[in-house]
Amino acid sequence: MDFEINHLIEKGRFSAIVDGQEAILSYRKEDESTLNFLSVYVPESLRGGGIAAKIVKHGLEYAKENNFRVIPTCWYVKKYIERHEEYQDMVAD
């Protein structure tokens, strides 16, 4: 499934429109060096297709490229980081 992920900085979210529905990774900038990933939402009819994983990876890559630490408040983001060791050193203490 191909889709584009947009970063809406002013809204604190990464967004993807898939089949006319919006999937979202919401975050809050805690300070100049830390992003708190708050929640991931994928519409029920789109779940199970890997959309959440793609949008979380996109958000984590943004954080990595911009030298942010992350707080994985969202359980899905936390599990994703646990399964992908390349992001584990980004987790804020």
Average pLDDT, the chain: 97
User: What pairs with residue 8 in β-bridges?
Assistant: 13
CATH class label, 5-90: alpha beta
**Amino acid identity for residue 76 in this structure:** Y
* CA–CA gap between residue 86 and residue 81 (Å, rounded): 8
State pLDDT tens for residues 16-68: 999 999 999 999 999 999 999 999 999 999 999 999 999 999 999 999 999 99
* CA–CA gap between residue 16 and residue 24 (Å, rounded): 7
pLDDT at residue 2 in the model? 81
Q: Given a cut of 80, is residue 1 above it in pLDDT? A: no
- In the chain, which residue ranges form alpha helices assigned H by DSSP? 51-65, 75-83
DSSP at 91: B
* CA–CA gap between residue 47 and residue 63 (Å, rounded): 24
pLDDT at residue 36 in the model? 98
Residue spans of the domains in the chain: they are: 5-90
pLDDT at residue 93 in the model? 83
Name the one residue in this structure whose structure tokens are 């100049």.
32
